[in-house]
């Protein structure tokens, strides 16, 4: 009966709320292992043994937003704020290129200093210096013309987690000045412009329910993103949610597999948050159907300041300079770290 649920999800690329509930809560570990195995097979059919490596460059921890969960929110005190210069960003890219990275992800808080002129200048310089690389941006909400200018300057991909597909849940995670509709507008604009778009959510965020998770999966089905980033919520000291429990690694792995079955060719990272909560989190993510890793390429002196949650990993297999270690750990899972840009394959 339960095995038939997995077959039904894999065939229909859809899931009912009841089916989701069974897959999230079953304590039949054979069934969970079957879910992981089916997800791995789906990944294999779409991308073979390849796992794509992205170099993550955290360009600024200044943020005008006050998301209740985030350790770099505007009201976070005691945090040394930084922003990288264009030269520092280009140096990170050069180091990453040397290490074999062919995608750079420029991520940061919503920092007004990075206006369109400055960002377009950076993007076009990265593009000119590293024409064989893809540029991904993850810089929060912007206007459509800004997204268009950045696209024209050479950015091809944009990561903007939708955070939750339930407007009510969104309002519980964000201050009143932030708008669910604007987040959705941004995602629609990015898609319409032609970006490869990533959305996603935290697993186990405060007030999340099975119903809101199901809404997230239905949103993914409708939106058909090229990338989906999910990772466990991890409390950040000094934030309103500092005392909330962290999300579950097990639930995150099950959701990774379910997303893989719903969107077989999506690019699905095994996120840093997963690696932070469990020493083998990243490997377990790959074994649940993930096919992307995003090691940290930021200058080492700044990594601790990009503290979106407590104890965030930025060393070992989370550190780009350990690319060879990452490759051998992937080989141990019978996966190959791909030297490709790793574009979405519909
Ligand atoms: N400002 C950009 C944005 O809003 O997309 C990018 C940076 S933001 C810090 C990147 C992601 O970090 C968010 O989309 C959120 O899901 C995740 N994040 C923030 N705080 C977190 C926490 N406490 N635990 C886990 N993930 C968190």
Tell me the pLDDT tens digit for each residue of 133-174: 999 999 999 999 999 999 999 999 999 999 999 999 999 999
CA distances from 54 to 62, 156, 235 (A): 23, 14, 25
Q: At 320, is the pLDDT very low, low, confident or very high (cuts 50, 70, 90)?
A: confident
Return all residues near 190 (Cβ < 8 A) that are at least 6 apart. 147, 158, 160, 197
- When pLDDT is averaged across residues 208-219 and rounded to a whole number, the result is 98
With a cut of 90, say whether residue 323 has pLDDT above it: no
- Cβ–ligand 1 distance for 110 under 6 Å, the answer yes
In ligand 1, the atom with minimum distance to the C-alpha of 236 is: 23
CA-based nearest residue to 274, from 299, 300, 297, 292: 292
What pLDDT does residue 322 have? Answer: 84
Which residue shows structure tokens 């005691």?
78
- Cβ–ligand 1 distance for 202 under 6 Å, the answer yes
- Cβ–ligand 1 distance for 317 under 6 Å, the answer no
With a cut of 60, say whether residue 33 has pLDDT above it: yes
Closest C-alpha residue for ligand 1 atom 11: 161
In ligand 1, the atom with minimum distance to the C-alpha of 308 is: 20
What pLDDT does residue 286 have? Answer: 97
Residues 245-300 have pLDDT tens digits of: 999 999 999 999 999 999 999 999 999 999 999 999 999 999 999 999 999 999 99
Residues 55-93 have pLDDT tens digits of: 999 999 999 999 999 999 999 999 999 999 999 999 999
Q: How far is the CA of 34 from the centre of ligand 1 (A)?
A: 31
CA-CA-CA-CA torsion for 59, 63, 64, 70, nearest 10 degrees? 140
- Cβ–ligand 1 distance for 236 under 6 Å, the answer yes
Q: At 316, is the pLDDT very low, low, confident or very high (cuts 50, 70, 90)?
A: confident
| Both structure tokens of 231 | 């990772």
- When pLDDT is averaged across residues 95-120 and rounded to a whole number, the result is 97
With a cut of 90, say whether residue 244 has pLDDT above it: yes
What pLDDT does residue 1 have? Answer: 56
Q: Over 36-54, what HEC string results?
A: HHHHHHHHHHHHCCEEEEC
- When pLDDT is averaged across residues 90-114 and rounded to a whole number, the result is 97
What pLDDT does residue 131 have? Answer: 97
- The answer to whether the pTM exceeds 0.95 is yes
What pLDDT does residue 143 have? Answer: 98
Which residue shows structure tokens 């770099």?
72
- Cβ–ligand 1 distance for 150 under 6 Å, the answer no
- When pLDDT is averaged across residues 171-183 and rounded to a whole number, the result is 98
Share of the chain above pLDDT 90, in %: 93
């Amino acid at each position: 009966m339960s095995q038939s649920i997995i077959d039904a999800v894999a065939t229909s690329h859809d899931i009912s709320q009841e089916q989701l509930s069974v897959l999230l809560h079953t304590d039949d570990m054979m069934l969970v292992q079957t879910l992981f195995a089916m997800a791995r097979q789906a990944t294999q059919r779409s991308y073979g043994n390849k796992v794509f490596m992205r170099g993550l460059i955290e360009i600024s921890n200044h943020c005008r937003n006050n998301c209740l969960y985030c350790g770099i929110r505007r009201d976070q005190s005691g945090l040394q704020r930084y922003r990288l210069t264009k030269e520092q960003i280009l140096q990170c890219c050069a180091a990453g290129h040397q290490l074999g990275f062919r995608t750079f992800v420029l991520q940061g808080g919503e920092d007004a200093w990075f206006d369109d002129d400055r960002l377009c200048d950076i993007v076009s310089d990265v593009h000119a210096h590293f024409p064989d690389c893809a540029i991904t941006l993850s810089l929060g909400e912007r206007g459509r013309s800004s997204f268009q200018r950045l696209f024209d300057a050479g950015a091809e991909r944009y990561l903007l987690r939708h955070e939750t597909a339930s407007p009510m849940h969104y309002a519980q995670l964000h201050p009143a000045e932030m708008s669910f509709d604007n987040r959705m507008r941004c995602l629609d604009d990015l898609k319409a412009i032609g970006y490869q778009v990533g959305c996603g959510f935290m697993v186990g965020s405060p007030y999340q329910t099975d119903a809101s998770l199901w809404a997230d999966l239905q949103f993914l089905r409708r939106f058909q993103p090229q990338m989906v980033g999910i990772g466990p919520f991890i409390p950040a000291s000094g934030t309103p949610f500092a005392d909330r429990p962290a999300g579950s690694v097990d639930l995150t792995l099950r959701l990774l597999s379910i997303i893989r079955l719903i969107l077989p060719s999506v690019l699905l990272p095994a996120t840093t948050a997963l690696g932070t909560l469990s020493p083998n989190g990243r490997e377990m993510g790959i074994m649940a159907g993930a096919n992307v890793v995003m090691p940290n390429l930021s200058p080492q002196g700044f990594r601790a300041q990009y503290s979106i949650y407590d104890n965030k990993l930025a060393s070992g297999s989370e550190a780009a300079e350990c690319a060879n270690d990452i490759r051998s750990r992937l080989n141990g899972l019978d996966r190959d770290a791909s030297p490709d840009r790793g574009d979405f394959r519909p």
